[in-house]
Amino acid sequence: MATREELAQKIQEKKRNNRLSWKEIASAIGNGSPVLYTAALLGQMTLTKTEAEKAAGLLGLTEAETVMLTESPYRGASSGMPPTDPLIYRFYELVQTYGTTWKVLIEEEFGDGIMSAIDFNMQIEREPNPKGDRVKIGMSGKFLPFGRY
C-alpha cells in the first residue's frame, strides 16, 4: 500500500466483501469509540499497535498496512473545500450558518478560546421520530483558553 487513502479504500472493500458493519469492526478492535476506530480506518486518526493488529487480523491487512494504521496521518488530505458529498456538505453548511453563533455562545460561557478537536469525544445515534428518524450527534471537546504572553 502506498498511501493512507489507498489503504482506506482497501479497508472499505474488505468491509463490503465480508459484509461487516463499522460497529462490528469497532467491537473487534477494542472497547474504544466506534467513531475514532472508523476515522482511523478511513485514514484520519491513529490506532495503537494492539488495535491495528486486531484490525489487520479481521481485515486481512499486511504488516506494512498494519504499521501504517499506527502512524500519524495527514488529516483532511482527501477532502476538498467546499466538500462535494451532500452529507459532508451539510456539516459545512451548519458551520457556515451557525459557526458564528456557536463561537459567541461558547465564548460567552467559557471566555476567549477554542473547543479542542484533539481532547474530544463524539457519539452518533439514531433518534426515533414518527416523522422520520433523526441523526443525533453529541460532541464534547475540552475548552482551551487562549493564553496571554
Q: Which residues are tagged catalytic? A: 90, 93, 116
The pTM is what? 0.80
The pLDDT assigned to 1 comes to: 55
List 144's β-bridge partners, or say none: 114
Helix axes 49-59, 34-41, angle to 10 degrees: 70
Whether 52 maps to a domain, the answer reads yes
Whether 107 maps to a domain, the answer reads yes
Whether 117 maps to a domain, the answer reads yes
* CATH code of 48's domain: 1.10.260.40
Report the domain count for the chain.
2
Provide the domain limits for residue 64.
4-68
Whether 79 maps to a domain, the answer reads no
Whether 91 maps to a domain, the answer reads yes
Interval 110-149: pLDDT, tens: 999 999 999 999 999 999 999 999 999 999 999 999 998 8
